[in-house]
C-alpha cells in the first residue's frame, strides 16, 4: 500500500530519533485506516503533547495537536459536534495516565466513542526521560537516579476496570497483532484503547541498558519478554513478573455515550 498518500510530505523530516518506535505505530494506524477504507476527510487524529504527540503533524487527516493530557477532552467535543467523524487519539503514557489520567478514566467510564492509541515507552520521552506512571519499579529515569520506588499503572487493566468496551495490548515488535487490534478498536462502538509498548532508546534505553540500548535491541527485548494472556493464565505471579502480557483484555457490548446521549435527547424532545 502507498503510505505516502496519507502523509504530509512537507512536514518531513520528522523529529523522532533513530530507533524510536513511534513511526512503527504511525504506519500501523495508516494500515488500519486504509484497510477499513476510511476517507482521510472523515478522520480526526488528535494528540496531546510529547514525542508521540507529534504524530498528527505528519498525517493528512483532520488533525489537532492540543495541550498536554487533554487530547481526550478535545476529542470528546469533536465527536459530539460531528458524530460521524472517526476519532483517533494518540497519547504517550505520561500524557494519557499522568497529567491526562483523570480524562482517561472518565472517557472509559462514559464509553465515549473514541479510539485511543497509547504509545507506552515507560518514560517522558520529549522532556528528557523523567519517570512516568508506567515506569517499572526499580528502573532508571532522570527523576529516579537510584531506581524507581513507585508501582506502575497497568494501562489496559485500568481502562478495562474504568469501563472501556474494547482494550487490547501489544508491542511494536508484534506488528500483525497491532494491525488486528487497531482494526478491531476502530470498528468498536464506544471507548477503545490499544496500548502499545514502544521503544524510546534515547531516554529509556540509555538509562536501562538491560532492556536494550538501541531500537533493534529493544525490539528483541519486546519479543523475548512478551507473553500472551492465554499463556499468562497458566503461569504463577512470580513467573509473570517482568513480562509484558499482550492480548485482548476486554471486548464487550455496552451502550456508548453517544447512544445514551441520543436516547435521552429523543425522550426530552418528545
Residues that bind ligand TPP (CB under 6 A): 49-52, 68, 92-95, 99, 119, 121, 123-127, 132
Rounded to whole angstroms, the Cα distance separating 257 from 260 reads 5
Residue 202 in the binding site for ligand SF4 (CB under 6 A): yes
**Is residue 48 near ligand SF4 by the rule CB under 6 A?**
no
Nearer to ligand SF4 among residue 204 and residue 249 (C-beta): 204
Instruction: Using the minimum distance from each CB to ligand TPP, give the nearer residue, 71 or 164.
Output: 71
Cβ closest to ligand SF4, residue 43 vs residue 200: 200
> Which does residue 201 bind out of ligand SF4, ligand TPP, none, counting CB within 5 to 8 angstroms by kind?
ligand SF4
Vertex 182: Cα angle to 252 and 160 (nearest 5): 35
Tell me how far apart the alpha carbons of residues 209 and 161 are, in angstroms, rounded to a whole number: 33
Based on CB atoms, which residue is closest to ligand SF4, 20 or 118?
Answer: 20
Shortest CA distance to 172 belongs to which of 203, 195, 150?
195
13: cis peptide before it, omega within 30°?
yes
Residue 93 binds which entry of ligand TPP, ligand SF4, none, CB below 5-8 Å type-dependent: ligand TPP
Count of other CB atoms within 10 angstroms of residue 183: 16
Give least dist CB 36 to ligand TPP, A: 25
C-alpha to C-alpha distance for 260 and 238, rounded to whole angstroms: 43
DSSP state, residue 59: B
Coil/strand/helix, residue 174: coil
Binding-site ranges for ligand SF4 (CB under 6 A): 16-17, 20, 22, 51, 121, 125-126, 200-203
Amino acid at each position: 500500500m502507498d503510505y505516502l498518500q496519507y502523509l504530509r510530505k512537507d512536514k518531513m523530516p520528522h523529529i523522532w530519533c533513530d530507533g524510536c518506535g513511534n513511526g512503527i505505530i504511525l504506519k500501523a494506524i495508516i494500515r488500519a485506516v486504509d484497510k477499513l477504507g476510511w476517507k482521510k476527510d472523515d478522520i480526526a487524529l488528535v494528540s496531546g503533547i510529547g514525542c508521540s504527540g507529534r504524530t498528527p503533524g505528519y498525517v493528512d487527516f483532520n488533525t489537532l495537536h492540543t495541550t498536554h493530557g487533554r487530547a481526550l477532552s478535545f476529542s470528546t467535543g469533536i465527536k459530539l459536534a460531528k458524530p460521524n467523524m472517526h476519532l483517533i487519539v494518540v497519547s504517550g503514557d505520561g500524557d494519557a495516565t499522568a497529567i491526562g489520567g483523570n480524562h482517561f478514566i472518565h472517557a472509559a467510564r462514559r464509553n465515549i466513542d473514541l479510539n485511543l492509541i497509547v504509545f507506552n515507552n515507560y518514560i517522558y520521552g520529549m522532556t528528557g526521560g523523567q519517570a512516568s506512571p508506567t515506569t517499572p519499579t526499580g528502573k532508571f529515569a532522570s527523576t529516579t537516579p537510584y531506581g524507581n520506588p513507585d508501582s506502575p499503572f497497568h494501562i489496559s487493566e485500568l481502562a478495562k476496570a474504568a469501563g472501556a468496551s474494547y482494550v487490547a495490548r501489544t508491542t511494536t515488535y508484534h506488528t500483525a497483532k497491532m494491525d488486528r487490534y487497531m482494526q478491531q478498536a476502530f470498528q468498536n462502538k464506544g471507548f477503545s484503547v490499544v496500548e502499545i509498548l514502544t521503544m524510546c532508546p534515547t531516554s529509556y534505553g540509555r538509562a536501562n541498558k538491560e532492556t536494550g540500548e538501541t531500537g533493534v535491541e529493544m525490539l528483541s527485548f519486546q519479543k523475548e519478554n512478551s507473553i500472551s494472556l492465554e499463556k499468562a493464565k497458566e503461569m504463577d505471579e512470580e513467573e509473570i513478573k517482568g513480562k509484558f502480557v499482550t492480548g485482548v483484555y476486554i471486548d464487550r457490548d455496552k451502550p456508548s455515550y453517544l447512544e445514551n446521549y441520543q436516547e435521552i435527547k429523543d425522550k426530552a424532545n418528545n
